[in-house]
């Protein structure tokens, strides 16, 4: 029971930015989100610093859209901030970015009061870009 309370406290900032519809804080103050606000969603996007202008990047979707990986999508363990996640291979048009990944950050509780989903993705054409995206994912301040 204590671990559930501790997990809820650690994830409180995640729920806060998910419920307000604003982009999460990044641990590196030099990085800035490009934010797009919709009627019922917010998209936060960051180009990979070492690959500017290539269409590769890291993004966070806050909204009500559900996410289900492709049935044959390969899964691997990883993290978004301090939250442990399962990254899945992401389908891209014409397989132009074959190293792309996607995940859903689960908010704590069986039935969270918020219906907001936190979908995170990395668009990467190379293994180096993927590693850069994973490093950005770890910088999302969720502690």
Mean pLDDT in the chain? 79
8 A C-beta contact, residue 134 and residue 34: no
Angle formed at CA 19 by CA 55 and CA 130, multiple of 5 degrees: 25
Residue 125 has pLDDT above 60, yes or no: yes
Q: 79 - beta bridge partners?
A: 84
CA–CA gap between residue 74 and residue 141 (Å, rounded): 26
Average pLDDT over residues 5-33: 61
8 A C-beta contact, residue 92 and residue 123: yes
Most trustworthy range by pLDDT among 7-11, 50-54, 57-61, 65-69: 57-61
Comparing 77 with 64, the larger pLDDT belongs to 77
């Amino acid at each position: 029971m204590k671990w559930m309370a501790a997990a809820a406290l650690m994830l409180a900032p995640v729920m806060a930015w998910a419920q307000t519809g604003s982009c999460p804080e990044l641990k590196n103050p030099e990085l800035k989100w490009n934010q797009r606000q919709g009627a019922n969603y917010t998209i936060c996007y960051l180009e990979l610093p070492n690959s500017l202008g290539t269409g590769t990047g890291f993004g966070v979707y806050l909204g009500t859209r559900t996410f289900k990986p492709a049935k044959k999508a390969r899964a691997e363990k990883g993290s978004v901030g301090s939250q442990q996640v399962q990254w899945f291979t992401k389908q891209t048009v014409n397989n132009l970015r074959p190293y792309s990944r996607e995940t859903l950050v689960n908010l704590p509780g069986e039935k969270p009061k918020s219906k907001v989903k936190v979908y995170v993705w990395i668009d990467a054409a190379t293994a180096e870009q993927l590693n850069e995206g994973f490093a950005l994912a770890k910088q999302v301040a969720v502690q």
